[in-house]
Amino acid sequence: MIGEQIKAELISIGDELLIGQTINTNAAWLGEQLNAIGIRVNRTVVISDDKNEIVAALNEASERSHIIIMTGGLGPTKDDITKHTLCGYFNTDLVINDEALKRITDFFERRGLPMLEVNRQQAAVPAACTVIHNYKGTACGMWFERGDRVFISMPGVPYEMKGMMEEEVFGKLAAFYNRPVIRHRTILTTGVGESFLANELAEWEKMLEEKKIALAYLPSPGMVKLRMSSYGEVGRDVESDFKLCEAELHRMVGEHIYGYDKDTLQEIVGVQLRALDGTLAVAESCTGGTLARMLTSVPGASDYLIGGVIAYNNDIKTDLLSVDNELIKRHNVVSSQVAEAMAIGARRRFNSDWAIATTGVAGPSGGTETHPVGLIYVAVAGPDSCKSLELRLGKRRESNMDMASFAGLNLLRKEILGQKAHL
């Protein structure tokens, strides 16, 4: 099969996806993982728990793609019909798989839970398949082969599916279809819009074209990601081409680049703080815990994050953060002065090297003429200085909380960089 692009198609099964009760995160994860082992997802379809829909989707997918991965439709309850449909499709019958039955029995025994007949039935699988065992739940995965096509059926619960794919399926697929790897490199920018960036980078895009590197601009709130992709090429050349293009991009718009690939600002800031042996505290008003949650989502954050205060009420700002009540009266609680005083107060209260503070009108209501919804100040206090930033965002509460937290982290990143440059 070498030389041919191996294509995968994902079939996600479930009315909850079609009516939007559940977001299809499984497809995104599978796309990313398959891509990394050189298998290109050329289509994802979402269909309902319906026999005819499943059969039609399987027929269409197997005409277009080598690998068909179904997720969902394998729970213990009655809305699940996938297994019976697969028996019909592969002209086989359900049989109890002894190993699966033992695994399911153990699963319930270990948890001290009663095992029900519906759970026992989860050990029944089509005789024609190879069982993919599930050590985090009760539904079995199934692997079918038909010529050079592979059909895989997986449970829809994300962490069960992911565990099974990682432990068994990706390895099996990589062995079945031996492929050159698709490579991506993503450069993360903040502070400039997509069209401005595209205009600045017209020359750079020509350089990419010559090197047969595809480029995509991926805007999301507060940032634009630039993704370079090279399909089907082998090994080192692509990596060094990426490096050349990256260096050129740095020369052109370096001040807007904050990271690469899956970097997050909270990880970058964590790396910076570790390198300085520095500590951090947060004082959040309008972001209400968002900044703390972003920081603490990074494993090991307790090495540099001391703690924080959610100062939702003004009394907390004066009591816990020593913000002068007069300052609040004079400048309004939504002001650069109060943001800076909060950061300085948090730094002192937590005895940390750095502190980030936020204050603003998150919305969707509560704004005034002088202090409209979306007006937010973020401040960073450090060993030598205190700096603040005014943001004028939109009306959407959660997005404002996220973007202000992002801006606070980016301000800290720049302040640490500036301090290092200064030493």
**Smaller CB distance to a second copy: residue 47 or 173?**
47
Minimum gap (Å) between residue 345 Cβ and a second copy: 13
Minimum gap (Å) between residue 247 Cβ and a second copy: 22
Minimum gap (Å) between residue 296 Cβ and a second copy: 3
Tell me which DSSP letter residue 167 carries.
Answer: I
Q: Give the CA distances from residue 200 to residues 194, 247, 306, in Å, rounded to whole numbers and listed in that order.
A: 10, 15, 41
**Smaller CB distance to a second copy: residue 151 or 350?**
350
**Smaller CB distance to a second copy: residue 119 or 337?**
119
- d(CA 326, CA 218) in angstroms, rounded, equals 45
- d(CA 339, CA 328) in angstroms, rounded, equals 10
- d(CA 365, CA 318) in angstroms, rounded, equals 25
Minimum gap (Å) between residue 421 Cβ and a second copy: 29
Please, how many CA atoms are within 13 Å of residue 381, restricted to the half-sphere of its CB? Answer: 25
Please, how many CA atoms are within 13 Å of residue 41, restricted to the half-sphere of its CB? Answer: 19
Minimum gap (Å) between residue 239 Cβ and a second copy: 18
- d(CA 131, CA 165) in angstroms, rounded, equals 12
Tell me which DSSP letter residue 256 carries.
Answer: G
Minimum gap (Å) between residue 364 Cβ and a second copy: 6
Task: Give the phi and the psi of residue 24 in degrees, each rounded to 5.
Answer: -80, 75
- d(CA 295, CA 268) in angstroms, rounded, equals 10
- d(CA 53, CA 10) in angstroms, rounded, equals 14
Strand positions, DSSP E, 124-279: 124-126, 130-132, 141-146, 149-154, 183-190, 214-220, 223-230, 257-260
**Smaller CB distance to a second copy: residue 156 or 382?**
156
Beta-sheet pairing, 354-360 with 375-381: antiparallel
**Smaller CB distance to a second copy: residue 87 or 295?**
295
